Amino acid sequence: MEITLTHYLVLSTILFAIGLVGIMRRKNLLMLFFATEILLNATNIGFAAISHYLGDLSGQMFAFFIIAIAASEVAIGLGLLIVWYKRTGKIDLDLMTSMRG
């Protein structure tokens, strides 16, 4: 029973779907960040798998950059979150409706 690219891609897709469910479900901003991490990791698996099965390092390169982006996102995101928390004492998404149209 050989593991093919498709297996990895399906796994990646399932993880991505879990991430999607997370970002839709979570109302706590910190937990929402967790879900975005899941999304990024899911794509990483996809890139690494394609890189492997094609024999091309580009996929891995993209995975690196995605990890870099994830790290920056966490730094900035948490910083903003802290500012918000200091102002309002809440990090609940349902209460952040200042952009109401």
Partner 1 sequence: MFEAIAFYLFAVLTIAMFTITVMTSQALYALTAMAAGMIFISAFFFILGADFLGAIQIIVYTGAVMALYAFGMMFFDTTRNVVEKQTNPRIVFVLGVLAAVMVVAIFVAPIVSDNIEALYPINSQVGNTQAVGMVLFTKYLVPFEVAAVMLLVAMIGGIVLAGKKMDRSLTLMAEEEIAMIHASNERHPEKGEH
Partner 2 sequence: MELYLYIALFAPLVGSLYAALFGASPKSYHTGLIASGLLFTSLVSSAILLSYVMGGHTVHVELMTWMATGDLYIPFGFVVDQVSVVMMMVVTIVSTVVHVYSIGYMDHDKGFNRFFSYLSAFVFSMMVLVMSDNFAGLFIGWEGVGLCSWLLIGFWYHKESATWAANEAFIMNRIADLGMLIGIFLVYWNIGSLQYDVVFAEIHNLDQKVITWIGIFLFIGAMGKSAQFPLHPWLADAMEGPTPVSALIHAATMVTAGVYLVIRANPIYSEIPDVGYFIASLGAFVAMFAATMALVNRDMKRIIAYSTLSQLGYMFVAAGLGAYWVALFHLMAHAFFKALLFLGAGNVMHAMSDELDPVKMGGLYKVMKGTAILMILASVALAGIWPFAGFFSKDKILEVAFSSEHYILWGTLWITAGLTAFYSFRLIMLAFFGEERYKQYGFHPHEAYRFMLVVMSPLALLAVIAGWFEHDFVRLVTTLLPGFEFHTHHVELMLIGVTSLIAVGGIVTAILMYRNGPLSTKWEEHFCYKVLINQYYIPKLYNEIFTKPYGALSRFAWKEIDIRIVDATVDMIANAIYKTGENTRDIQNGNLSTMLRWMVIGLVVLLALAVAFTVGYNAIGA
Shortest distance, position 24 Cβ to partner 2, whole Å:
5
Q: Return the structure tokens found at 98.
A: 């200042």
Helix orientation angle between 58-88 and 29-54, rounded to the nearest 10 degrees: 180
Type of residue at 57: L
Compute CA 8 distance to the chain's CA centroid, rounded to the nearest angstrom.
Answer: 17
Q: Return the structure tokens found at 94.
A: 């349902």
What single DSSP character describes residue 86? H
* Residue 1 near partner 1 by CB under 8 A: yes
Which residues between 62 and 91 bind partner 1 (CB under 8 A)?
63-65, 67-76, 78-83, 85-87, 89, 91
Shortest distance, position 54 Cβ to partner 1, whole Å:
5
Which residues between 5 and 44 bind partner 2 (CB under 8 A)?
20, 23-24, 26-27
Which residues between 19 and 58 bind partner 1 (CB under 8 A)?
19-22, 24-28, 30-31, 33-35, 37-38, 41, 44-45, 48-52, 54-58
Q: Return the structure tokens found at 52.
A: 């492997």
Of positions 2, 55, 89, 94, contacts partner 2 by CB under 8 A: 94
